[in-house]
Amino acid sequence: MDEYILALDQGTTSSRAIIFDRNGQIRSIAQKEFKQIFPKSGWVEHDPNEIWASQASVAAEATVKMGLNGTNIKAIGITNQRETTIVWDRKTGEPIYNAIVWQDRRTADFCDELRKKGKTELIRSKTGLVLDAYFSGSKIKWILDHVKGAREKANAGELAFGTVDSWLVWKFTRGRVHVTDITNASRTMLFNIITQQWDPELLGLLDIPESMLPEVKQSSEIYGETTTTIFASKIPIAGIAGDQHAALFGQMCTEKAMVKNTYGTGCFMLMNIGKEFIASKNNLLTTVAWKINGQIQYAFEGSIFIAGAAVQWLRDGLGIIQTSADVERLALSVEDTQGVYFVPAFAGLGAPYWQPDVRGTFVGLSRGTNKGHIARAAIEAIAYQTMDVLNAMQADAGMEIKELRVDGGATANDLLMQFQSDLLNCKVIRPTVVETTALGAAYLAGLATGYWKNVEEIQQLWKAEKEFIPAGDQAVIKNGIKNWKRAIHAAQAWNDKLPE
């Protein structure tokens, strides 16, 4: 009887289920979007029960589509939107508040207070993270402080916290298993990634009882079995990793200095830095890449807030293209940007700048600028931002990269991929399977259950669909980089307040 691995990819806007075979090929896929809740400006929430319902329904749909029942599924792997925070009642299993999503900024003032108290370095030295509302810790504190009776219940050991992976495992096992994996734990701002333990000092700082927290496990091991009625038989849940970590593993970046970049709404770049924790000196995060067979790997991470979202803006905001795919054709209608540069800082500048108040800026516009130049400048901006992050990574790691492995929707744009290769002066490789996040979760689950023997066997499955080799005029490229830096400087200068 053929066996498969089911990967559950619980994202920010949709839940997906993908079934993979032994060759790492997709055999079935199902997807369902769910509601985004915006109670106030800067607040973003999800309904945890809707997250569960949507994920359970696509899991059933993907298996039924293939005519499978639970006995054909060897294991389940879970990958998830990170940092999103859920607190629920241990007895009833009901959430006490909506999930507070990673994008939510309601705790920014509290984080500013901690910064003023000089806690930035303490947090960075233990967690590898910058002190920011992005991470789960301050979100848990907010729920305990603002939901009536929550703090009393938490102190009595009656509440459970989890990121989305924990919540799904809890629901699949009907409350028998309360775990997270080390990658998700490393994004809470409560977990010491050197000692690999929840940190009492950080829990004290944020006033969070340790009894709420899940047990931290490896990224590849059997956590428990499904006990829901979704499947005809019990299936082991055997792999968990946050989405970017899963993508790094799905891209088989298993050696030091291997790098992947996911081109989605934003860009997330991760570099495998090996078995030792290295603190970033260039505004990157240090995070746990994964832990398998007792062996931990660390990674640098750089986040770019606006990448594909800049193209969506050309479509929805300016109306100069009808579909996102049209941007490449429009950009190819001109030879270059004619000196136009676009800094798409709609939500501030991410790594390596971390300047949340900077806003989007066009420079170099002339009477001759047309929509083709605007489109080309938007595509190039994605590549320039990626270059900034990669340069910071190379400086931090003291290593030069030879290739960049890429995934995500925008990698279909050959113009972008070629320009990226020219800018970085290295090979850019697009794999045959671009669903690398779900694939990484499948690989982790398959390893734990013997579906694949070892990492070496999985490495044989990774195949390039297309390689982009540097081909641009380096003098022109260097001039472009210099002008990009000027454009960033212009965006930063606009944010500076003039004296009254």
* Residue range 365-386, pLDDT digits in tens: 999 999 999 999 999 999 999 9
Name the phi and psi angles at 91, rounded to 5.
-75, -50
C-alpha dist (Å) from residue 224 to 182, 238, 295: 16, 8, 21
* Residue range 105-117, pLDDT digits in tens: 889 889 999 999 9
Please check whether residue 271 is in contact with residue 310, taking contact to mean a CB–CB distance below 8 angstroms. no
On whether 82 is known to bind a ligand per the annotation, the reply is: yes
Question: What is the rounded average pLDDT of the residues 145-158?
Answer: 95
C-alpha dist (Å) from residue 399 to 76, 125, 271, 340, 439: 36, 22, 10, 32, 27
On whether 376 is known to bind a ligand per the annotation, the reply is: no
Please identify which residue in the block is written with the tokens 């829901």: 228
* Residue range 256-305, pLDDT digits in tens: 989 999 988 888 999 999 999 998 888 899 999 999 999 999 999 998 88
- Name the β-bridge partners of 162: 86
* pLDDT given for residue 159 in this prediction: 96
Q: Can you tell me whether residue 289 is helix, strand or coil?
A: strand
On whether 308 is known to bind a ligand per the annotation, the reply is: yes
pTM for the full predicted model: 0.89
On whether 244 is known to bind a ligand per the annotation, the reply is: yes
On whether 120 is known to bind a ligand per the annotation, the reply is: no
Q: Can you tell me whether residue 434 is helix, strand or coil?
A: coil
Q: At what angle do helices 120-127 and 108-116 cross, to 10 degrees?
A: 100
Kindly tell me if the per-residue pLDDT of 13 is higher than 90.
no
On whether 23 is known to bind a ligand per the annotation, the reply is: no
* Residue range 175-205, pLDDT digits in tens: 999 999 999 999 999 999 999 999 999 999 9
* Separation CA 428–CA 411 (nearest Å): 10
* pLDDT given for residue 137 in this prediction: 95
Kindly tell me if the per-residue pLDDT of 232 is higher than 80.
no
* Residue range 426-467, pLDDT digits in tens: 999 999 988 899 999 999 999 999 999 999 999 999 999 999
Nearest to 179 by CA among 129, 209, 122, 219: 219
Q: At what angle do helices 436-448 and 243-250 cross, to 10 degrees?
A: 80
* Separation CA 378–CA 317 (nearest Å): 13
Which two structure tokens, joined as six digits, stand for 288? 């746990």
Which two structure tokens, joined as six digits, stand for 182? 């080390």
The counts of H helices and E strands in the chain are 16, 23
On whether 413 is known to bind a ligand per the annotation, the reply is: yes
Question: What is the rounded average pLDDT of the residues 53-82?
Answer: 89
On whether 391 is known to bind a ligand per the annotation, the reply is: no
Question: What is the rounded average pLDDT of the residues 395-419?
Answer: 90
* pLDDT given for residue 498 in this prediction: 61
* pLDDT given for residue 499 in this prediction: 66
Higher pLDDT, 40 or 136: 136
Q: Is the dihedral of CA 181, 215, 96, 8 positive or negative?
A: positive
Please check whether residue 348 is in contact with residue 356, taking contact to mean a CB–CB distance below 8 angstroms. yes
* pLDDT given for residue 483 in this prediction: 96
* pLDDT given for residue 500 in this prediction: 67
On whether 479 is known to bind a ligand per the annotation, the reply is: no
On whether 16 is known to bind a ligand per the annotation, the reply is: yes
Kindly tell me if the per-residue pLDDT of 306 is higher than 90.
no
* Separation CA 114–CA 129 (nearest Å): 14
Nearest to 303 by CA among 241, 392, 380, 378: 392
Please check whether residue 379 is in contact with residue 416, taking contact to mean a CB–CB distance below 8 angstroms. yes
* Residue range 53-63, pLDDT digits in tens: 999 999 999 99
Domains within the chain, CATH numbers bracketed: 4-233 (3.30.420.40), 252-499 (3.30.420.40)
Give the model's confidence band at 21: pLDDT under 50 very low, under 70 low, under 90 confident, else very high: very high
Element (H, E) at 239: strand 236-242
For residue 211, what is the DSSP state?
Answer: G
C-alpha dist (Å) from residue 466 to 207, 292, 432, 433, 473: 50, 30, 8, 11, 21
* pLDDT given for residue 68 in this prediction: 75
